[in-house]
């Protein structure tokens, strides 16, 4: 890169004919469909499963929709899809001559998930990594997203094939890392952070889920899993976007397909910071 800078590299590959390392990396990006105009793509990742990544993805999408933006969710967790259930969508996706049509939630959030393409939503997806990665690319290219201000990509946990595909193939504006507050998770957060650093993807911040539970009798907060995320955020010099408690109302709304009615005051600041960071 030093030699490229000395030669006057502006960083804009569209106006350059040189076959340098930057151009090679950019060539991995997959184009979206010709009918799509997607302004911002945000990945939501976690180093391990079970920390509430899909919940955070859904929450951020709902909050951005309430802020007046056109929003979509690409469910890239092919083997463990949960987004349609969260929004109470049980119908299969339709297709016309120009592509696959995403489902729409009650408030107009567009979403695509492998569960919308299966005859039986409880059927396991027994695919190997390259096929799963191909499905994610198909969701990006073949789905008719139309005009979107924000597309949130719900990645599967870890640093395997699908997160790598999302990082390399989609024009990410940044990622949000979801974690829970156990000390053990700090190592896992760093794995996700270091992957983003290696791929030169901006880390917009951390969201801590299951931060505490509120006693229904006295209102006192109990941090049953500890409180390590503040330290991790400070160590990595990234923003702690928000903390979500354990809330029994969330499970009820997901089971009833009414998640869009959930007043998630805990991540409102997170949505506003994402808006600010992507302007």
The predicted-structure confidence for 231-269, as pLDDT tens digits, reads as follows: 889 999 999 999 999 988 888 898 888 899 998 899 999
Cβ atoms 160, 129 nearer than 8 A: yes
Q: Give the mean model confidence (pLDDT) for residues 41-66.
A: 93
Look at residue 214 in the predicted model and tell me its pLDDT: 86
Region of poorest pLDDT, from 23-32, 135-144, 208-217, 264-273 = 23-32
The reported pTM is 0.88
pLDDT value of residue 41: 98
pLDDT in tens, 1-27: 444 444 455 444 543 445 455 544 455
Q: Cα–Cα distance between 233 and 35 in angstroms, integer? A: 39
Across 46-50, 78-82, 151-155, least confident range = 46-50
Q: Per-residue pLDDT tens for 145-189?
A: 999 999 999 998 887 888 999 999 999 999 999 998 876 777 888
Classify burial at 32, counting beta carbons within 10 Å of its beta carbon; exposed 0-12, middle 13-18, buried 19 or more.
buried
Structure tokens at 73: 């969710």
What's the confidence (pLDDT) of residue 21?
A: 52
Contacts of 262 (CB under 8 A, 6+ apart): 59, 62, 249, 250, 253
- Rounded distance between C-alpha atoms, residue 103 and residue 145, angstroms: 10
* 257 or 109: which leads in pLDDT: 109
**pLDDT attached to residue 25:** 47
Average pLDDT, the chain: 87
Q: In angstroms, what CA-CA distances link 228 with 203, 221, 224?
A: 18, 16, 12
Give the C-alpha separation, 64 to 87, whole Å. 15
Instruction: Give the pLDDT confidence score for residue 27 in this predicted structure.
Output: 55
Task: Identify the pLDDT of residue 98.
Answer: 92
Across the range 17-46, mean pLDDT stands at: 78
Half-sphere exposure of 141 (CA within 13 A, CB side): 11
Six-digit token pair at 95?
């297709």
Task: Please state the separation of Cα 117 from the chain's center in Å.
Answer: 20
Share of the chain above pLDDT 90, in %: 58
Q: Among 13-17, 74-78, 130-134, 138-142, whose mean pLDDT is lowest?
A: 13-17
């Amino acid at each position: 890169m030093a030699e490229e800078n000395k030669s006057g590299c502006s960083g804009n590959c569209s106006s350059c004919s040189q076959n340098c390392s930057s151009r090679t990396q950019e060539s991995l990006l997959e184009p979206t469909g010709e009918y799509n105009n997607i302004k911002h793509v945000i990945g939501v990742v976690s180093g391990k499963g079970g920390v509430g990544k899909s919940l955070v993805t859904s929450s951020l999408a709902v909050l951005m929709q309430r802020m007046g933006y056109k929003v979509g969710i690409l469910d890239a967790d092919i083997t463990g899809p949960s987004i349609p259930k969260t929004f109470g969508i049980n119908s299969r996706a339709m297709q016309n001559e120009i592509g696959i049509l995403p489902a729409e939630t009650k408030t107009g959030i567009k979403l695509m998930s492998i569960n919308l393409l299966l005859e039986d939503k409880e059927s396991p997806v027994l695919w190997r990594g390259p096929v799963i990665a191909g499905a994610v690319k198909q969701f990006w290219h073949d789905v008719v997203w139309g005009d979107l201000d924000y597309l949130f990509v719900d990645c599967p946990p870890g640093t395997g094939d699908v997160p790598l595909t999302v990082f390399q193939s989609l024009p990410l504006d940044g990622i949000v890392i979801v974690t829970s507050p156990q000390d053990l998770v700090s190592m896992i957060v760093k794995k996700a952070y270091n992957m983003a650093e290696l791929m030169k993807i901006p880390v917009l911040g951390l969201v801590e889920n299951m931060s505490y539970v509120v006693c229904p009798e006295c209102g006192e907060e109990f941090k049953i899993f500890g409180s390590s995320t503040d330290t991790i955020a400070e160590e990595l010099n990234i923003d702690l976007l928000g903390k979500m408690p354990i809330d029994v109302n969330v499970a009820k709304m997901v089971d009833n397909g009414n998640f869009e009615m959930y007043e998630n005051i805990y991540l409102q600041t997170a949505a506003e910071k994402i808006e600010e960071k992507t302007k």
